[in-house]
Amino acid sequence: MRAKMAGSVMALCVVAGCGTATTAQPPTTVPGVLTLAKASPPAPGGEVGGGSTEFDTATDLSMWTKLSETEKDIDRIAALDVDKTAKGALYLEPKTSAWFDGFRGPFVYQELAGDIVMHARVKVEGKKGGKPKRKFSLGGLMARVPGSYANPNWMSVTTGTGDRSGRVEVKFTRDGSSKPQELAVEGTWVELVLARVGRVAVALYKDEGGAWKVGSRWPSELPEVLQWGVTAYTDWDSYSTLKKDATKGNAKQVRGVPDLKLTVDYVRFLRPEMPEYADPLNTASVSDEVLIKLLTPAGA
């Protein structure tokens, strides 16, 4: 699938290291402070908006591409359909798999260019209902550097069971080294946002009926074109002795006890805008409250 372009494609660059907002705090009177009143929600529509999918009909699946097909890998998806298993939704059931360091799992995506907000409403359950019982059974959103099997670079925000159940995991992987962080979440349905705007990458989340929270903001120099999409993986413990050997772990389908089913109500793509004077890596310049307004749809 050709990337939907907002302008000319920049040369691909290497993802920068993950981290937290800078600690240097400028005076609040300088023009570098973006106030809530001056912040605008991301704009729907346009070229990236054409990739938004409500998953109302089975044909909506044709808009999405399986990574295992485009980059020639083992297909670690046990079930994938739209408006069949779950009415008006995408349903994805992974085999034993993992997205961690150099390990690979399921991923369906669209190639999009420029600054992007990806917003979705998802539900993660165990195969028999309830919360997944196997550790690191997570599903949600991911943005990945194309062709980066040999040198993995990607970011994600997922929900499900991590070390414990009822978690949101935010994770930035640079050159095959993943830095995950787990956060508590309640409820069954969770809204997720994964975004790139300027020199910052951001993961947001909210419980059904709750308020948006910033999961993490990372400094990044991402390529103009990324694969933006949906992932789900499960059953890390079944990798056993292969946990330290991604090459062997990726070479075959690991037999295990997968325990995850992901339902995605919708995935919507929007264009964020941030004034040039604002520093999104500095919480004194762009507070969490302002960042949330910039990267979540109006009224969401």
Place of tokens 């040039």: 276
Q: What's the chain's average pLDDT?
A: 91
**CA torsion, ordered 184, 185, 186, 189, to nearest 10 deg:** -160
> 26 in a domain, yes or no?
no
When divided into structural domains, the chain yields a total of 1
Alpha-carbon gap, residue 269 to 193, rounded angstroms: 10
> 212 in a domain, yes or no?
yes
> 242 in a domain, yes or no?
yes
Alpha-carbon gap, residue 213 to 254, rounded angstroms: 35
Evaluate whether 263 touches 123 at the Cβ level (below 8 Å): yes
> 12 in a domain, yes or no?
no
> 227 in a domain, yes or no?
yes
Residue 233 structure tokens: 């993986």
Q: What is the pLDDT of residues 248-300, one digit of tens each?
A: 999 999 999 999 999 999 999 999 999 999 999 999 999 999 999 999 999 87
Q: How far is CA 138 from the centre of its chain?
A: 11
| Domain housing 207 | 36-295
Q: What is the pLDDT of residues 222-249, one digit of tens each?
A: 899 999 999 999 999 999 999 999 999 9
Least Cα distance to 162 among 190, 183, 191, 179 occurs for 183
How many other CB atoms sit within 10 Å of the CB of residue 29?
7
> 20 in a domain, yes or no?
no
pLDDT in single tens digits along all 300 residues of the chain = 334 443 333 333 333 333 444 444 544 445 499 999 999 999 998 889 999 999 999 999 999 999 999 999 999 999 999 999 999 999 999 999 999 999 999 999 999 999 999 999 999 999 999 999 999 999 999 999 999 999 999 999 999 999 999 999 999 999 999 999 999 999 899 999 999 999 999 999 999 989 999 999 999 888 999 999 999 999 999 999 999 999 999 999 999 999 999 999 999 999 999 999 999 999 999 999 999 999 999 987
DSSP state of 271: B
What's the CATH number where 82 sits? 2.60.120.200
> 10 in a domain, yes or no?
no
Q: DSSP secondary structure string, 38-54?
A: G--PPBP-HHHHTT-B-
Cross-sheet strand order for the sheet of 177-184: 65-66, 107-113, 225-233, 137-144, 154-161, 167-174, 177-184
Evaluate whether 127 touches 234 at the Cβ level (below 8 Å): no
> 27 in a domain, yes or no?
no
